Structure 1
Amino acid sequence: MRLTQAKIERIRRINAQTIHLELGLIDEALYRIKPGQTLLARLVDASGEPLAWDPYLREQWWPLGMTGQNTLLVERPANPRYEPGQYVSLLGPIGEPYRFSQRAKNILLIAYDADPTPLTIMLTWLLRNQLNVTLVLLGRARHYGTDHLSAEVEVIRGEDGLEWDDMVMTLGWADQLYAVVAPDDERQNFKALLDMLLDRKVVIPQRFAYGIFQPPTVCGTGACFACALRMSNSSRPRLTCTDGPAFDLLNVRLD
């Protein structure tokens, strides 16, 4: 993990809620950043001084990967404070990449009342590796525009709760599942998701259902334990910033 500085070269709106930031002057250490690894970012001036202290903590940015012009593409909620020419202080990479079973052919992605960005950033990698992908958008995630996504991605817009048409068939089709939920109470929301899976699927094997946890990240190094998760299979907590962000939901204590 390194502290570096980049510059916003271009901004492109991809839907009503979301933009892509193209960052130049990227440190070579970030060229090999992988889906699932994130950056802790703060807008700064050319000398590296913060433009503002609100928010106080650095923001967690989700990179899509490098472009052919040696710029780094990042997906962010649309915000008028982003402008081309601004400098960004970056700390990272944070966390571990997403991991997929070698036997997995069908990947199910579920966004429940949450921004699906932590899921959509893996789509290019999944399609490049010839995996079949279904993206289910539930609750407020239904409003996420998907016209910019590849036609190879099946998109299902469900209900306000954890239901959608033919959900039993979709769950049976999936070899592996990744999900994001509303951050207001991640553990309870992931518990609701896991309970739904247990009700609809006869057996939930290990390494099938992964939750992508997004607690506020304070240090990014594992020193403060602010992002610690209690595990059901170990007395040692796991840290979202160093071991995450994705964890097998069967191994996380969600009570």
Structure 2
Amino acid sequence: TPAVLLPVAARAVEAGGSVTLLLAQPYPLDALDPRLEIRVGSLPELAADFAPTADLVFIHTAQALHRPIARALASARPAVATGFARALLAPPMPCGTGACGACAVRTVRGWKPACTEGPFFNLADLET
């Protein structure tokens, strides 16, 4: 569901940016800000289509799609700045301090607590 990214999209629109939501399946349009552009289809293909003109990419999808989307972005836009594509991860965060390790996310730099170092992570840094 795109609902978790709607606050990020709203802030971008309020700041004068243009926002395109890429959705894997239809979503009730009455629940979305009419200023958002909506595209529905294969997320890796849509990401590749929009990568050349996007300023930033935020994703919230199944972990299995992280790598295909990252590859599609890298293929469509080889000179990508660090942090260009960010993934929202929302594992359980019982302690909120990182002490319990329940929310640990596997990255290329080791395990990182989502509660203190997330919930957005550089897509290229995520291990699948």
Q: Which bin holds the TM-score, normalised by the shorter protein?
A: 0.7 to 0.9
SS in 2 for 1:173: coil
Query: What are the Cα deviations for residues 136-166 of structure 1, in whole angstroms up to 9, with x where unaligned?
Result: 101xxx232122322221111114x6324x9
CA distance in 1, matches of 2:12, 2:67: 26
SS in 1 for 2:10: helix
2:77 to 183, 187, 201: 201
SS in 1 for 2:60: strand
RMSD between aligned residues:
2.1
Percent identical residues: 28
Deviation, structure 1 residue 116: 1.1
SS in 2 for 1:217: coil
CA distance in 2, matches of 1:135, 1:231: 25
Gaps of 5+ in 2: none
CA distance in 1, matches of 2:31, 2:102: 35
Query: What are the Cα deviations for residues 12-66 of structure 1, in whole angstroms up to 9, with x where unaligned?
Result: xxxxxxxxxxxxxxxxxxxxxxxxxxxxxxxxxxxxxxxxxxxxxxxxxxxxxxx
Cα gap change, 1:204 to 1:150, in 2 (>3 Å): same
1:162 to 35, 44, 67: 44
Query: What are the Cα deviations for residues 86-112 of structure 1, in whole angstroms up to 9, with x where unaligned?
Result: xxxxxxxxxxxxxxxxxxxxxxxxxxx
CA distance in 2, matches of 1:150, 1:189: 26
Residues 1:173 and 2:49 are matched in the alignment: no
Higher helix proportion: 2
CA distance in 2, matches of 1:128, 1:244: 23
Contact residue 52 and residue 76 of structure 2 kept, 8 A? no
Aligned AA (1:227):
C
CA distance in 1, matches of 2:69, 2:9: 22
Aligned AA (1:238):
K
Equivalence for 1:42: none
Residues 1:124 and 2:4 are matched in the alignment: no
Aligned AA (1:121):
P
Equivalence for 2:20: 134
Deviation, structure 1 residue 180: 0.7
Cα gap change, 1:148 to 1:230, in 2 (>3 Å): closer
Contact residue 97 and residue 116 of structure 2 kept, 8 A? yes
CA distance in 2, matches of 1:212, 1:230: 13
CA distance in 2, matches of 1:197, 1:144: 24
Equivalence for 1:144: 27
| Correspondence 1:15-54 to 2 at 5 A | none
Query: What are the Cα deviations for residues 67-122 of structure 1, in whole angstroms up to 9, with x where unaligned?
Result: xxxxxxxxxxxxxxxxxxxxxxxxxxxxxxxxxxxxxxxxxxxxxxxx11221122
Cα gap change, 1:209 to 1:201, in 2 (>3 Å): same
CA distance in 1, matches of 2:114, 2:21: 23
Aligned length: 128
Aligned AA (2:52):
G
Higher strand proportion: 1
CA distance in 2, matches of 1:228, 1:163: 29
Aligned AA (2:77):
K
Gaps of 5+ in 1: 1-114
Equivalence for 2:100: 224
